[in-house]
Amino acid sequence: MKTYNIVNLLVNDESTFEYKFPIVDKEGATVDIFTNSQFFTKICQKYTSFSLLCPRYYDDDAHQMIDLVSDRSEAIQFLQAVFTLWYDDRKAAVEKLYNTFRDNYNPLWNVDGVEGHIEETNQGGNSSDVHSGSDELTKGSGYTSTRTGNETDAPTGSNTMTTSKTTFDDNTFKDTDKVVNQPGVTATHTYNSVKDTYTQSGKDTTGYNSTMTHNRNLLDKNVYMHIRQGNIGVTSSQSLIKQQFDITDLDQLIEILIKDFVHSNLVIGW
């Protein structure tokens, strides 16, 4: 069975084919996990003893083995076909792995989220303030004035009437008659403990018989949020550091992928 050394095939491959591994990252950009040059360098560094095993079959009519790859030129084409098939088979998984490793994360920051709920209260309909009684103003019927005690009119002083006469040859008048009458001319009113009493029958009354209505068309919305960030506390920092070393080993995608290609499609020696 024919074999062709992998380095020999790569050195003599003068086609435009490129042994690279492009993927699409989370932002939609195309990223090469490794380039044609990197593939060649890694093969020459670690896998020079590996060869491409070329297919052959036994022809029952001719009674001989038939090689499907007859020379190095056909071996190069076969290598390109093998690489393309391997790439198509690995691309989806590698793309997910790459985006996982390249995602921003803090190994000690393993809780980052928001918990909460939204509470909504709708208020509708009417609210009524009701007064009991009646809306009336009743006036009192009036009042009565009553006076008690007594009052006395007591005249004081006296009235004197005098009659005077004189002769024709004398200018001096002489009293002939004098009359004094009692009581005098002054009337005095004396109030002895007079008291005025006012009595009101009935009183002013105000009653209520009205309704005050408030129309409501309200929407109350309350948002409660609880933010959790940092370390959840179930893993020690030492354990996280150890796990980080394991992740770092897995993150060597160039090494892992080229190694996978070699051991999946090439043979050592022959």
Query: Are residues 53 and 266 in contact, defined by beta-carbon separation less than 8 angstroms?
Result: yes
Span 124-130, average pLDDT: 61
Query: Are residues 18 and 32 in contact, defined by beta-carbon separation less than 8 angstroms?
Result: no
User: Who has greater pLDDT, 218 or 41?
Assistant: 41
- A 10 A CB-CB count for 191 gives 10
Mean pLDDT, rounded, of the chain: 76
The per-residue pLDDT for 202 is 63
The per-residue pLDDT for 250 is 45
CA 24, CA 96: separation in Å to the nearest integer?
9
The per-residue pLDDT for 61 is 87
CA 175, CA 161: separation in Å to the nearest integer?
11
User: Who has greater pLDDT, 64 or 226?
Assistant: 64
CA 82, CA 19: separation in Å to the nearest integer?
11
With a cut of 80, say whether residue 124 has pLDDT above it: no
Domain borders along the chain are 3-108+235-268, 126-215
Q: Angle 144-145-146 (CA atoms, 0-180°, nearest 5)?
A: 115
Q: DSSP characters for 71-130?
A: SHHHHHHHHHHHHHHHHHHHHHHHHHHHHHHHS---TT--EEEEEEEEEEEEE-SEEEEE
Query: Are residues 65 and 57 in contact, defined by beta-carbon separation less than 8 angstroms?
Result: yes
Span 220-229, average pLDDT: 69
Q: How confident is the model at residue 246 (pLDDT cuts 50, 70, 90)?
A: very low
Span 110-128, average pLDDT: 63
With a cut of 70, say whether residue 214 has pLDDT above it: no
CA 65, CA 44: separation in Å to the nearest integer?
32
Q: How confident is the model at residue 241 (pLDDT cuts 50, 70, 90)?
A: very low
The per-residue pLDDT for 45 is 95
